Chain A
Amino acid sequence: MISKASVYDQVLGLHAYRSRMNVAVMVILVACLLLLVRFVWLQVFQYEHYHTLAEANRIAIAPVVPTRGLILDRSGQALANNYSAYTLEITPGRVEDLDGTIDALSKIIDIAPRDRKRFRKLFDESHNFESLPLRNRLSETEVARFAVNRYRFPGVEIRARLFRNYPQGTTASHVIGYIGRINDSDLDRLDDDGLLANYRGSDHLGKVGVEQSYERELHGLTGSEQVETDAGGRAVHSLAKTEPVSGNDLVLSIDLNLQQIAEKAFGNRRGALVAIDPNTGEILAFVSQPGYDPNLFVDGIDQANWDALNQSPDKPLTDRALRGLYPPGSTIKPFMAMAGLFYHKRTPESLTSDPGYFAFPGSAHHYRDWQPKGHGVVDMHRSIVQSCDTYYYSLANDLGIDNMHEFLSRFGFGERTGIDLEGELPGVLPSREWKRARFHQDWFSGETVISGIGQGYNLMTPAQLAAAAATLANGGTLFRPHLVRAIRESRSGQTRDVRPEVLRKADLATADLDVVRAAMADVMRPGGTGAQAYAGAPYAMAGKTGTAQVVTIKQNEKYVESRVKERNRDHAWFIGFAPVDAPRIALAVLVENGGHGGSAAAPIARQVTDYWLLGKRPAAPPPAEPATTAPAPGAAPAAADDEEEGSD
């Protein structure tokens, strides 16, 4: 099937084609010549050089591990540093009888059963040719004793290594995190990121906390040393060396003193506290209690310690500030009030009558107020100061879930705050779409009503509430909360500041803000639910207490704290900021099963704001269980606290 066109093109264009072909052949020949010149250069002229490299002695390229960057608090106090010590290391692949060798070693060096167990665990997790530590921190005499006996132990060596150290122990453990030995899944990840080469020779990497999220800054650049080795692979001498570049130092925005005060204020209670500078999003204190000692993890945690941490009902390894999900309870009310003003469903003056409950017309179901006899006729100011539930049941009903969802998400609820730590949970800010996706069900109006007081499906983390409180404090700017304030480059010695990042503008009217802020300030004054904790404070604090229900109370039952098991008691919330006019700190405090926000959470906030604004340290160690101390005689009943409940 040869067409006419083919005949035609046989004549035309063929000449041009052939000339192109000649050019191509020329190029090919020149390229071949180039290759040949290269081969001759390598194999004839440079032959001696490469022959020596390949044959006489092998060249090994040994990595030189960089020093990991430090982690400092905002004033420069060390939270993580390194120290040098001798370790006794075994390369299992070069030892014939591992147990026998360890037994023999234990005769000259003290090896505890704990060391053996840890070594066994490392051995199971690693490859045969890796050098694994058996004993850390050898004394000078132990080093000397081994040196004399070294010939008896092939495959066993003493090495000087840098160790990670967390001098503050359990303090800020959930911020700092820890480093751990690199395992197979870490290796895969490094390979995927093209970072494997830089981790040759490194045993550790950040697993949790800023140690993990800033791993690339902290690790540094691995150097290398070209060494000639003898037949046995031992380095004979160094040919060339590229120095490693140490990791960069992290300067956190955390203030160590503030952090310590905040953690102490919790006593032995469980909970979380996040304090933020509302003008930048810098986190000043970040507490999740109980914490753990990160030093345990550095060289592989032993089984007993691991079980103790992992199986404790207090869950010390869980970061409550980012992964603890709690109903926000009454702390949602200032935000609800803002929504009411924004959508013109309420003015500051409009009144709601509170008979002690809210009910839909024609329905016998009562959405109960925490105050059984009701608050009477309530305006917006009083609804916040006394934490009136009925006001918000009714407001929520008027707003509808769609408006509530739209407006509350401006404060970052329902999504991750974007903090510079991994593993944060987004929580739940319910909407029709959310419920359909989650339960394949339509939204019920009763669910809107209980959402109005922060119950129902609402789940938030302490970090989210702190960021939202900061947004109220600064007039409507939602910053990305961050723990690292600056990065000090090890190479240049220069400091890179982390710039505040605005996530969104909540678009709040100043007049609306003034109403809500004034009410939140009065929460902390006599007659408000938080007054007791802030009695006599020389600065103006704004706040809101809250209580998150753990168990549902039946319609005709009353919640009586003493009758409920400790783990089923309500969680205590407090959010706030100070000073009211020009806020420098905003915070959220959660005390698990603490009971009332005003008596359990607000006193912790008081110690934190006192130190941050006045430099004042708490006078005496805080009582272990302030929630159980009897109220001072003559305290105003209204100041006792709020308690509220959703319907079933």
Chain B
Amino acid sequence: MAEPTLLQFEPFQSAIEATFWHTLGNNKINVYKLDDATVPIQGFYSSGDAFPLDRAGSSQPASAGGGAGAAGTAGAAAAPQDVLPARLCVNATSFSKLKRQINSREFLVPGTLKNTNTIEEFKAVDKNSLLKTITLEIWQDILSGAAAQDPRLLGRFLLLTFADLKKYKFYYWFAFPAILPLEPFKLETPVRPLAEVYGAESHGKPMAGMVAFMWGDKLTRSFMAYGQLDRLRSEYERFRAVSVSPGFFLLKTLENGGFAIADVAEFGTFFGEGQKQTIGFVDPSGLSENPGWPLRNFLALVATQWFARSVRVVCYRESSRRRDDISASIVLDVQLSAFADEPKSVGWEKGVQGKPSPRVADLAPLMDPTRLAETAV
């Protein structure tokens, strides 16, 4: 294919835990009352993960192979596993102040809650202008450098709600604004697994795995890949423990074959002469060909703040089942394009039917005292 492939992102799916509604209901009665001004909240996501279907024994047969190093190039049949949706969660803790979580696998995102007083207001509120407001905030943070200092600001989301506290019905609509470039971004090369890109780049010192050279080339390479990924992972663990926003980072390889990871703010000075500019983010998607939503505004930052026209992206994915497994990570080479002075955005979540539309959660069975009395022991 001569035509470069369009880079497509997996949208977030919202996940509201019932405790969020419980706290919102309390706040509505005791704090906000009839005030419908916006309130800062926070959500969180965690790394995407492949879900092995063999254990579930369902539809798709789990064929051999897979794992690190298995070729997953575009068009070819990808690994025989499904993924869990990329989820952005909110719960009772979402009303506390955004702060740094230490060594957590959950990555915080600031958001804005707009709770309306009536269902009519919920319907009537100008959704286009709400989205535009948040988009402008993100865009301002990109231009001002605030987002470079704390890239979590790129993920600002919007949550429009109406809490019918008499019926315990909660109406809601999420928006995850993504700033649109003039031209959609393209992939310069097919998407590759992390091990294929960094496992193959061996420098200098032989690693423990090198003893495997006598077992044949393929095995040697996969051993080396494992060793390299492990070095990358431990460098990331170091970074996670010290960074304010460990969900976004810069990456470079070192002379000795190791890796260095730094905060996004250092973009201007981090990379050596002629070195491939490589950015990384903790990816809520688990798809073998697509990154998750947080990358969109991250790329907007990189393209706008540092005028990058081409970057390599490490979509960092930690296995939910094993702490030390990052083999589901993928690498993209992305061709960036420019942004308008006042860029447009998208982001309203699709409803049950696949079109943008609000959702409703009926918690009467779990919260309504009269219904509870029926099930009480």
Q: Do A and B come from one complex?
A: no
Residues of chain B whose beta carbon lies under 8 Å from any beta carbon of chain A: none
